[in-house]
Amino acid sequence: MKRGDRRGVALIFVLWLLVLLGVIVAEVVSQARMESEILSSLRSRTVARYSAESGILAATVRIEELLDSARSLPERITTFRDLSTRLAGLNDVALGSGRFGVAVVDLNARIDLNRADAATLEGLFRQFTTDRRAEHAVELLKQAPLHRLGELTDIQGIDDSLALAVAPYVTVWSDGLVNINSAPEPVLAALPGVSVTVARSLVRRRETGELVFGPDPVRSQLAGVPGGVAALAVLPSRLLIVSRGWQDGHPLTHEIQAVYDVLGARLTLLAWQERDL
């Protein structure tokens, strides 16, 4: 082989090696970037989760402090009525590189889809659909308990629009009691024997700042209705605390939904669900 030919072969070999090295370097860089992104995602997920847990803890401590300081029944009713305002400082809290926001829901302001009787459920659904459709939907609802509200649309005859309409007024985590100091008009009007007029009057009285200390405002309407008065309460006995945590600069959010029984001035955990958003 001539000297020039040998140089040409050597040049081709060197170029081939450079291409190969370039591919290897690109692959290493790609793997390193991927591992870095995975580590960043894991860190963001961890920070979001512990931030959300911190939100739950902060909310429970704050609520128990408020209940400890509220000695009388009027003070307790007022505390729960203004709970969102009193917990406003927990809406967006910095925690190192993480943040959390908390919301509290009075589950007794809603109708429990699993515990409420058929008449109450029909009374609610009839406000958003026809009588026949409401009866059919409730009949199917009573065949099996729901584990989450999203399962509403799995019930034949309950489409997305009806599910969205009733969603603000129902739950699957309550104990069956209805808090007349917080329940909205559609919930009160759904109770057997309670007219829309009475429900609207009660809501208007609350809006003026009046506190209701017993079921007297609706007692006459519930006369003769089995269990009607017993299903009413003036304070929440069950709360849902929703906490969302995230890390600054990262889109991933972790949500915790915790259900608590209210026993005097203490909260007792009943259910805990987590998910990434």
Cα–Cα distance between 201 and 195 in angstroms, integer?
10
Q: What per-residue confidence (pLDDT) applies to 211?
A: 78
How far, in whole angstroms, is CA 136 from its chain's centroid?
28
The three-state secondary structure class of 169 is: helix
Where are the CATH 1.10.40 domain residues in the chain? Answer: 111-231
| Residues facing residue 247 across a β-bridge | 98
Which amino acid is residue 56, in one-letter code?
I
The pLDDT assigned to 212 comes to: 74
| β-bridge pairing 170-171 and 111-112 | parallel
At residue 6, the pLDDT reads 59
Integer Cα distance of 43 and 125 in angstroms: 45
Cα 104 to Cα 80: distance, rounded to the nearest angstrom: 10
Residue ranges of the chain with pLDDT lower than 70?
1-11, 13-16, 18, 25-26, 28-32, 34-40, 214-230
Measured between alpha carbons, how far is 225 from 231 in angstroms, rounded to an integer? 11
Continuous segment of H or E residues that includes residue 102: strand 98-106
Report the candidate in 221, 175, 228 with the shortest Cα–Cα distance to residue 202. Answer: 221
Per-residue model confidence (pLDDT) at position 28: 67
| pTM confidence score | 0.81
CB 230 within 8 A of CB 254: no
Per-residue pLDDT of 47-77, as tens digits, reads 999 999 999 999 999 999 999 999 899 999 9
Q: What is the DSSP letter of 154?
A: G
Q: What is the four-CA torsion angle of 219, 220, 224, 230, rounded to 10 degrees?
A: 0
CATH architecture of the domain covering 46-108+237-276: 2-Layer Sandwich (3.30)
Query: Checking phi first, is residue 264 left (phi over 0); if not, alpha (psi -120 to 50) or beta?
Result: left
As a CATH number, domain 111-231 is: 1.10.40
Which residue matches tokens 């919930």?
Answer: 187
pLDDT of residue 164: 93
The token duo for 150 is: 């999203």
Q: The tokens 């599910």 sit on which residue?
A: 163
Average pLDDT, the chain: 86
CATH code 3.30.1300.30 region(s) in the chain: 46-108+237-276
